[in-house]
Every structure is written in structure tokens, then in C-alpha cells.
Structure 1
């Protein structure tokens, strides 16, 4: 994201390999800051601060800001630009390898924000979801198509593994869209702002989350096939004979509740086989 100040705004050229598109539209920036509503006492982690379009108001709010930036040149500029801000700390690192627990071990203590590069948005979200107990909320700028996948439910064309896993862990709210012209350089796609709030009281609970993840991953690995075909290895491995869903259906026909129920049925079958 970009700032209106600092020489880097004219000198730094967006790098394709980092998926950089810098936000410059002041109205959009204000809408995002209002959606975040930062305040003193909060601990905010910003992913990809870029040219500090969001970073500046976040730091000015009095919140503690830990920024994760991979680009060495931007990291150097950010460190210099915020050198006098005692509530700012820069981590020159790849977010996909960054351990959030090094920032805090307190439950629900971190707020995550960022303009996620399109090329890493999905793996980044899965990485962050592994730290869900530490996170209060997450607000991201993503490609509109990714936000639609995150919010999709059974029956929607965008429904799949990403939406199921995100909604298992979080409440997903698609807040508003951002046109290509709000960025430099302008991307070829529309972006959107999404808020993810990790759930504290889940309605649907998988007894073995690793198994749940595998069921969903295997199901959507060949989404045109029926569940009977794609889940055949798991059925054989667990010895499951009775499952709570119609195996002639395709993966997109099952809801989150169906997938947790299916996962728990495999869990019980495996447990009974081992006893």
C-alpha cells in the first residue's frame, strides 16, 4: 500500500515477483481505516505495508504496529520513515514463514490487516488460520474472486475448500469492493475488503481437525467426481460403513455442517477399528 509522503513513492517501482500494487486512492484508504477502527492499546499486525498508506494512520492511532514486509528496499524505507515511532516495529520477512506467536501468546490479542498479494493470498490465509486462537480479527484487501470464494456457501459457483475452511474457523464478511483505478499500477481485476473474525463458539466442531482438513481437501481435489469416488481411500483406510451423507453427491453439494459430520463419522470409524 502506498503513502502520500516520502521519496520512495516516486522512486520505488512495483515489483511483479512480489505481486505489488500500491493503493493511492485517499477515499478508499479512509474507508479501510474506518473499517479497521484502530485504537491505542490494540496490537495490529500489518502484512505488506508497502508505501505506508495504511501504516501511517495505524501508527498515528496509538496502536502497537508490527509490520511484515518482504521487499528489502521498502523495509529499509519503512524503518527510516517510522524511526521515531516507538509503537512501530518492522519485520523484513516472508509472511508465509513468519511465526505470529513470537509477537504474542495471549488469546485474541492480535488484529491482522493487509493488502495481500494476489499470488500468495490463499496460502497466506491458511497460514494465518493456524494461529486463529491468537487473533481477534483480520481485515484484508484481496482479489474480489478470492473474497467471493471465502464467503461462498453450498450451491454457489465459487464454493470450495477455501470457503469451507475459512468459515469453519471464522465469520466471513465481504465489506466492499475496490476498483482497479485505486492502485498504481492498476491491476486487471477488482479487489475487495473482507473481515474474518475467528469463531469462539463453533456450532460445527470436528473432533479431529487434521482429519477434517483432509476430508475437505480430498473431496475438492476432484470436484467433478462423486464423493464415493474421491473419498474411496479414506473409506477404505477408516473402515467406515455408514456415513451421514449421500455419497452419490458431488463435493459442492455438501454444507460445512455436512463436512464436519462426515469427518466425525470417519473419526469414529477409525477409532472403532483401532480398539
Structure 2
């Protein structure tokens, strides 16, 4: 069965009983034009090994296979979707590999060789933990093009002082250049979610902070934004000598977390790492 002989996405959904499940955070993209647009937003895929998470019936997968990607590896937890994707793999021998499993437990670096990109319409219920995990290992990735709920996308891209600016903003922008690429209304999905969605492009920065500093940044941002209304000298007490940490970083303890730039958080996290603050 070759590309033109494949059933339509809606036929695939019907044949495999692929009703979207809320428990899996599923909202399928069935419009080939929208899928093609998202694949194009991922940039050059020539020779790249592309990881897709939560492909569902394979709408975006088909668009990725239409590119010049060396291979597409689809990680899917839903067995019904795995069966549907098997048909697609048969139509593209050697270019699509389907991995049944939980993406939260999959290491992209071990899954495919470099150069690697992740392109996915992420399941809503695990999108944030997936992103944080990939940020930890961002040095192994060339880039990510990811669909989130618009609210989450805005948090990722928010600037200091903005209402949406928070821990996820700092972690994402510290490790990557973050660009809002596309917004999609509920009607673009089946079934339509209650909110708009958005695609974010994340390009890892050249400098890799390493696992120890990343862990320090996670602790620092968790403490700082865990009690947003508190001044930093109060919010950071769980890390140890808050006043001493802030003084060493050259940051006024009366400021609040949302006023700090990503660069200031970097300075603070390096101090936390150095003194072993917890």
C-alpha cells in the first residue's frame, strides 16, 4: 500500500475506533493542509531524524513523511493508534518507525541518531512535563516544533513582567530561543478542545549548562515562583541563606520573581549551584 492508496485520516479514525480520549489528552489534527503547514514550520528536515510524540491517526506523521526527513519515529501510547500507524509504516518502508510506549520515559538521544528534531502535536495532559524533560537534554536536539494549548505557549514565550511569565518561561528561554509560530482555533481539531492552541518553535542555545546547573535552575525557579507574591528574600528561604544567595548574585531581595530576567536567574542559579543551596 503506497501513499496514494492510503485511506483518508477520517477513514482511518473510523476503521480503528480512534475516538479521541480525554484521559490521553487527545485532540487530533485531520486537515492535511494544517498538518503540512506545521511540518513546514519545523524548517529544513533534510537528513534529519524526526521524533513525533502522540501522532494519533497520523495526520502530522503523513506530512512529515512527505518531507525529506531521513526517518520519522512516532512514539504512541494508544494501542489503537499504533495499529493505524502500522498501515502508514507499511506504505513508507524504512522511513517510519512506530514505538509503542510512554514518551515521558523515552530519551530522544537514545531513540534516534543526530541530527534530531522533535515535531509534535503534544497530548495536552503531559505537554509541560515532556517539554521540561526535553529542555534538560536540549543539547542533543537541533530543534523542537511543538503544539500546546495557547495558554501554555504564551507562558513559554512570555517576557519578564508579563502576567504569563513564570518558571516555564525561564526554563524554556534559558535553554532555547522560543518563537510563537502559529495559533489554531478549536475547530482545527477533532474533537475541538475548549481553548485555542499554538505552535512554538524552540531552538537550543549553543551553550549547554549541564545537568548540575539545570537542576540548580529548576530548584531556583521552583522556589522563586512557588510563592509569587513574596519578595525573593522570603520566597527563596527553602534554598538556604536567601539573603546571602541574593547578595552573591547582586539581586535586590525585595524584588519578586516575575521581575527577574532570564540572565538574572542564570546568575542566581549558578550561585545556588556553587553553594549547594537546597
TM-score by length of 2: 0.87
* 1:164 pairs with 2:192: no
Show the counterpart of 1:74: 81
* 1:120 pairs with 2:126: yes
Q: Distance in 1 between matches of 2:29 and 2:20?
A: 11
* 1:8 pairs with 2:15: no
Q: 3-state DSSP class of the match of 1:246?
A: coil
Q: Distance in 2 between matches of 1:173 and 1:193?
A: 9
Q: Distance in 2 between matches of 1:171 and 1:158?
A: 17
Q: Distance in 2 between matches of 1:179 and 1:219?
A: 33
Q: 1:96 to 1:218 in 2, by over 3 A?
A: same
Q: Distance in 2 between matches of 1:205 and 1:52?
A: 35
Q: Distance in 1 between matches of 2:210 and 2:30?
A: 42
Q: Report the more deviating stretch, 125-134 or 237-246.
A: 237-246
Q: Report the more deviating stretch, 111-120 or 209-218.
A: 209-218
Match of 2:51 among 45, 61, 68: 45
Q: 1:209 to 1:5 in 2, by over 3 A?
A: closer
* 1:102 pairs with 2:110: yes
Q: Distance in 2 between matches of 1:231 and 1:223?
A: 11
Indicate the structure with greater helix content. 2
Q: Contact 2:220–2:236 at 8 Å: present in 1 too? A: yes
RMSD: 2.5
Segments of 5+ residues of structure 1 without an aligned counterpart are: none
Q: Distance in 2 between matches of 1:6 and 1:266?
A: 52
Q: Report the more deviating stretch, 111-120 or 37-46.
A: 37-46
Match of 1:92 among 75, 97, 100: 100
TM-score by length of 1: 0.88
Q: Contact 2:9–2:59 at 8 Å: present in 1 too? A: no
| Deviations 1:93-121, CA, capped at 9 Å, x for gaps | 11111122222454xx1110101111111
Q: 3-state DSSP class of the match of 1:231?
A: helix
Q: Distance in 2 between matches of 1:241 and 1:170?
A: 25
| Deviations 1:67-95, CA, capped at 9 Å, x for gaps | 10110111122113322421110000111
